[in-house]
Every structure is written in C-alpha cells, then in structure tokens.
C-alpha cells in the first residue's frame, strides 16, 4: 500500500487567494536547519567568552546579563534542574563572565529558546554578521520569491524564536543580498510561544488584518496548528534536513517544498480548505456534475480523467 502523499500546493488553486499578509518562520522554512545548528550556534559557543570580555562595560550587554541573572534566579526558586546562577553585579568580571558562559552553554545544551538567551545570542551574531564572518544562508528560492511577493503588494513578516535583532541580521546580511526592506515587521518570543494560539492572535492584532487574511508558513506542525486555531491560514514547508512529517500532517495541511508553489494550479479545492485549516470532506456535487460532462457523444466515458 502506498503511503499518503503530501497535499501539494502544485495541485491547488493559488494558496495566496484572499491572503494579504504572509508570516514566515525562519529555521527550516527560509533557512536550512543546518545553518542554525552548524554555524550560528557553534559561533556563540566558541566566541562568547571573548565577546563578553571585550564588551563587558557595554550598557546593552550589561542589560542582557542582568536579564539572564534574573531568569536564573527565578528558575533556581522553581527548582529547575541544572540551572546555572549568575553572581550579582558587584562580583568580579571574571566570575560573572564565567557564569554567563556556563549559563548560556547549559541553555543551548538543552535547546532552550528563552528570550533572555536569544537576546545575548543576537548581540554576538551581530558582530559576526557585521564583520562578514557569517552570512545568512537562505534556500535558493527564498530571495527571489520574497521580492516578488513584496512587489505584488503582500505584507511580509517574520515570526521566529530567534530575537528580532538576529532576524534582521540574517536577512540584512544574507547570502542573497540585503532583503531587510521586503519585511514590514518582525516578531519573536516576546510576543509569546510559537505553539500557543494567543501568540498568533496578538500578531494579527498588531498587523491590523483579520486572521483569515494572514498566511503563516512553518516547518513545525504544532506551530501551524496553533496558527490555525487562532484563525490564521497555515501551510507546512518541507525542506531538506527538516524533521519528517507524519501522514496525518501531510493530509491535514497543504505542503510546499518551494515558495513558488504558493501560486499552485487552479483545480483542487480540497487543498485550499486544508490550507485554511478546514479538515472536512469536500462536497461531491461539483465532481458529480463534472463526471456527467465527461461522456462523449457515443455515451462512452472519457479516459483522460486525472487519477
């Protein structure tokens, strides 16, 4: 028995019908997961101590350290296992730097996505991008399609677990040139968890559009489900290196492998319904009517019907 295939947008009418705004996830959607895991994260691990020592007196850095300190103290009270506390501001520079390094590496080991961690990571990546040590990696279709969508009047936004600063850096210093001007705004975890519908309701309110007019593109089914429960449309993006989707996910959501598939074809209404979060069965009336039209003049059915 063949496994169910993804509900391809190539079979569907354009998934952009009725859409005014498109919100993009980054990791696994516009950018390979390998770039984040193999380039960005190792850069922080390898350079955090040097960065802290060089910029220790910087007011923004001290603010980021204070946020990490408060977060660690709160988690200590909550008895979070393994949390690394950070000494107060009157401790020696060496002690503070060591504790921050240990705290950050501990959080990264646990693949945590706290706002406090992301803020400091973004500051470190800022140096890397500006010095051209790093360029933001994008899938080949991303740059051209972002420009086309923006030129056609769609409002484009980013919603990622990475800080807003790091999001801007990735698209400003991308491998496909400066794409920052195509976006109307950015959202991160200060808006809320990407797995909670309330976050998407907040985004819709800030954007100023009805949720039904907003499309969210992500590689994570739980995020797509949260967006749909908030009234947004959502489609899953299948990219090399992403986690494999289940048959249920492939059937319940429209899925694309490239952004140009958003334009699709013009004859699969079921995909549009799934894309909008409606998993109900399509009505059969139109199909039955079409079957009646397919008989040729001598009463035989046309053999050219698509399977």
Is 174 marked as a binding-site residue?
no
Q: What is d(CA 247, CA 69) in angstroms, rounded to the nearest whole number?
A: 43
Which single residue is written with the structure tokens 């019907």? 305
Is 260 marked as a binding-site residue?
no
Is 8 marked as a binding-site residue?
no
Is 180 marked as a binding-site residue?
no
Asked if 126 and 133 touch (Cβ cutoff 8 Å), the reply is no
Q: What is d(CA 209, CA 211) in angstroms, rounded to the nearest whole number?
A: 6
Is 194 marked as a binding-site residue?
yes
Orientation angle between helical segments 197-207 and 221-229, nearest 10 degrees: 60
SS (H, E, C) the chain: CCCCCCEEHHHCCCCCCCCCEEEECCECCCECHHHHHHHHHHHHHHHHHHHHHHHCCCHHHHHHHHHHHHHHHHHHHCCCCCCCCCCCCCCCHHHHHHHHHHHHHHHHHCCCCCHHHHHHHHHHHHHHHHCCCCCECCCCCHHHHHHHHHHCCCEEEEECCCCHHHHHHHHHCECCECCHHHEEEEECCCCCCCCCHHHHHHHHHHHCCCHHHEEEEECCHHHHHHHHHCCCEEEEECCCCCCCCCHHHHHHCEEECCHHHHHCCCCCHHHHHHHCCCCCCCCCHHHHHHHHHCECCCCCECCCCCC
Asked if 245 and 202 touch (Cβ cutoff 8 Å), the reply is no
Is 85 marked as a binding-site residue?
no
Which residues contribute to the annotated binding site? 25, 27, 160-161, 194, 219
Which residues contribute to the annotated binding site for Mg(2+)? 25, 27, 219
Which residues contribute to the annotated binding site for substrate? 160-161, 194
């Amino acid at each position: 028995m063949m496994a169910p295939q993804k509900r391809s947008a190539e079979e569907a009418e354009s998934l952009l019908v009725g859409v005014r705004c498109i919100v993009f996830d980054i990791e696994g959607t516009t950018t390979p997961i390998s770039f984040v895991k193999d380039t960005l994260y190792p850069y922080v691990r390898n350079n955090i101590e040097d960065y802290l020592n060089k910029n220790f007196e910087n007011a923004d850095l001290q603010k980021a350290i204070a946020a990490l300190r408060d977060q660690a103290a709160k988690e200590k009270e909550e008895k979070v296992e393994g949390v690394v506390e950070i000494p107060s501001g009157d401790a020696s520079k060496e002690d503070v730097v060591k504790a921050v390094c240990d705290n950050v590496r501990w959080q990264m080991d646990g693949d945590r996505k706290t706002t406090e961690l992301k803020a400091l990571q973004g500051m470190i990546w800022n140096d890397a991008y500006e010095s051209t040590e790093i360029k933001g990696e994008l899938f080949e279709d991303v740059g051209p399609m972002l420009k086309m969508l923006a030129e056609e009047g769609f409002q484009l936004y980013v919603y990622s677990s990475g800080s807003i600063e790091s999001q801007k850096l990735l698209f400003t210093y991308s491998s496909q040139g400066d794409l920052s001007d195509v976006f109307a705004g950015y959202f991160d975890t200060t808006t809320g968890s990407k797995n909670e519908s309330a976050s998407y309701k907040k985004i819709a309110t800030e954007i100023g559009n009805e949720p039904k007019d907003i499309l969210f593109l992500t590689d994570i089914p739980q995020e797509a489900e949260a967006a749909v429960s908030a009234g947004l449309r959502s489609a899953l993006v299948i990219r090399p290196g992403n986690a494999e989707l289940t048959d249920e996910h492939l059937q319940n959501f429209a899925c694309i492998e490239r952004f140009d598939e958003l334009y699709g074809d013009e004859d699969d209404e079921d995909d549009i319904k799934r894309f909008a979060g409606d998993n109900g069965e399509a009505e059969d009336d139109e199909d039955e009517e079409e079957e009646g039209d397919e008989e040729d003049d001598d009463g035989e059915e046309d053999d050219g019907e698509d399977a």
